[in-house]
Amino acid sequence: MSIEKKIITIIFDEKSCGHEGRRRRKKDIKIIASTEDVDRDGDIIRAKGWDIENYLKNPVILPVHNWKGEPVAKIENIYIEDGKLVAEGIDFAETDEGEKYKYLVENEFIKTVSVGFMPKKIFFLGDENQVEEMKNLDNEWYEKNVEKLTKAKRVIWEAELLEISFVPIPSNPNAIIVMAQKGFETAYIKNENDELVEIDITPYAEIKNPIPPSVHPKNMKLDSQSSWDQSKARESLRKWASKDGSGDKDTIDWVKYRKGFTWYDANSPENFGSYKLPTHWIDNEGNFVLVWRGVTSAMASFMGARGGLNIPADDRRGVYNHLASEYRKFGKEPPPYKERGYTFEEALKVFDPDTLEDYIKLYPEEVIEFAKNKMNEMEKLQKEINDLKNQINDKSVPPCPEDGHVDNSNGTEQNSKKIVLTQDQLIKTVSLAVEQFLKNFKKRR
């Protein structure tokens, strides 16, 4: 049979215990390695069926099922009690990896372990013959769990425990940052289907204020059609995060409010002005919604001219990663990360049409500057052409009237007169050109 894994939760009990001759408060870690509840795979593991004989010969805890690596802790006692497989007395290894996991587990940044086991006997509840066989083996257990069995797909009747691993599933958003600072490169989060997905957390190693996308509710909706209204977004998030629905400052659950934004000032977390780059709002049905044009507006603001939005340099990569993950939720590729932001000319080459449109709205002076530079280049080129014409005319032999030549020098001078636009005319011309450009640009994409 194949090896299987199950995710379970670590239980923490506060008690006073001795340590190196001194008395101090610390957390006694008890691992409930398995219960007889129906798990997300539709399985029930029968507690009496656990075979732990071989595991007791080397009762260690591994980092993320790495069988080739060094263990990070060992277990002093493992036993079955009240339908649960329980492990307690965790002794962490005095190694860099052991110290790392010790800190994260004792401070509850990691609150999960995963058991690796080999099923030895399985009953499928859709098969009446197998159900009857299960009753004959232990009818008392069957009658005790009959209600649970109606919700399950199979019963793992006997299983050999092979190993227990700490699995870095962050218990809260800040855990990602702490784990990254402790040297972790990856962690796991649950997606909307309750499946574990590995994520890269290295960008969070040196940052504190960017809000990781893992804080978003599992039932988050996606809106790819609506136009973006930041004022509407902020107002709906305030009412949603307030205890009484008023949106008043003294009623706000700030941790909940934070979920709708990309960055906040951790030094002033109870101030509306500390929260920047919202990408969500709450719709009329109370759904937490990620809005595509909110994402593009935030990216255009963040990656705009001369560095874009004023956010500390150490936080920029984390902010970008958050927004990039939201682009991918809509099946879009984000523009490449750029430390100093994009000029309009650079944005033309890499921004999608929606992000480019938001960039133009946010940074119109960049577009005007770009247009001025292009007009100056055209004037310079026209002058060079005219100079070249004059040089050719100066060196040429005057034509004879008999050759049918018509003197058009007056027309040439008239046509080469410089066109001068006022500032208002320039802005209007650029606006019309940009509007036409975006129409054509969207058709090509």
Render pLDDT for 166-178 as a digit per residue (tens, 0 to 9): 877 655 555 555 6
> Does some domain include residue 106?
yes
- Is residue 275 scored above 70 in pLDDT? yes
| Whether residues 77 and 10 fall in one domain | yes
Asked if pLDDT for residue 27 goes beyond 50, the answer is no
DSSP labels, 45-62 = E-GGGEE-TTGGGS-EEE
Question: Is residue 278 domain-resident?
Answer: yes
Work out the angle at residue 395's Cα, subtended by the Cα atoms of residues 393 and 398, and round it to the nearest 5 degrees: 65
Do 332 and 218 lie in one domain? The reply is yes
Of residues 69 and 322, more confidence is placed in 322
Average pLDDT score over residue span 139-165? 91
- Maximum C-alpha span of the chain: 123
What pLDDT, on the 0 to 100 scale, is given for residue 87?
A: 85
Domain for residue 244, yes or no? yes
Give residue 219's pLDDT band: very low, low, confident or very high (50, 70, 90).
confident
Q: Are 163 and 216 contained in the same domain? A: no
Least confident among 39-53, 117-131, 161-175, 274-288: 161-175
Does the pLDDT of residue 107 top 80, yes or no?
no
Average pLDDT over residues 115-127: 89
Looking at the structure, tell me whether residues 223 and 114 fall in a common domain.
no
Among the candidates 167, 199, 221, a domain finishes at: 167
Q: Is the pLDDT score of 141 beyond 90?
A: yes
Q: Are 76 and 89 within 8 A, CB to CB?
A: yes
Average pLDDT for 170-190: 60
Is residue 162 domain-resident? yes
Q: List Cβ neighbours of 37 (8 Å cut-off, separation of 6 or more).
A: 44, 148
Q: Which among 112-121, 275-284, 433-442 has the top mean pLDDT?
A: 275-284
- Indicate the residue among 306, 336, 362 that finishes a domain: 362
Does any domain span residue 188?
no
- Same domain for 281 and 160, yes or no, is no
Residue 417 banded pLDDT, cuts 50, 70, 90? very low
Residues 142 and 259 in one domain: no
| Angle, helix 423-444 to helix 353-362, in steps of 10 degrees | 170
Residue 133 is assigned to a structural domain of this protein:
yes
Predicted confidence band of residue 181 (pLDDT cuts 50, 70, 90): low
Instruction: Name the domain count of the chain.
Output: 2
- Output the pLDDT for position 17: 36
Q: Please report the pLDDT score of residue 199 as a whole number.
A: 67
| Minimum mean pLDDT range among 34-43, 54-63, 70-79, 320-329 | 34-43
Distance between CA 36 and CA 38 in Å, rounded?
A: 7
Instruction: Give every strand in the sheet of 221-223, ordered side by side.
Output: 221-223, 288-291, 280-282
The more confidently predicted of residues 390 and 234 is 234
> Is 212 found in the same domain as 155?
no
The reply to whether 370 falls in a domain is no
Helix-, strand-, coil-residue percentages of the chain, each rounded to 5: 40, 25, 30
Q: Is the pTM of this model over 0.75?
A: no
Which domain covers residue 87, as residue numbers?
A: 4-16+25-167
> Does the pLDDT value for residue 206 go beyond 60?
no
Lowest mean pLDDT among 141-155, 236-250, 255-269, 396-410: 396-410
Same domain for 329 and 217? yes
C-alpha closest to that of 277 among 245, 314, 302, 306: 302
Distances (CA, A) of 116 to 166, 194, 223, 323: 11, 19, 40, 35
Residue 144 or residue 304, greater confidence: 144
Residues 136 and 229 in one domain: no
> Do 351 and 280 lie in a common domain?
yes
Same domain for 223 and 74, yes or no, is no
Span 70-90, mean pLDDT?
A: 87
Q: Which two tokens stand for residue 399?
A: 């034509």
State residue 434's pLDDT score: 66
Residue after which a domain boundary falls, among 345, 362, 379: 362
Which is higher by pLDDT, 419 or 155?
155
Of 398 and 139, the structure prediction assigns the larger pLDDT to 139
| Contact partners, residue 273, CB within 8 Å, separation at least 6 | none
- 148 within some domain: yes
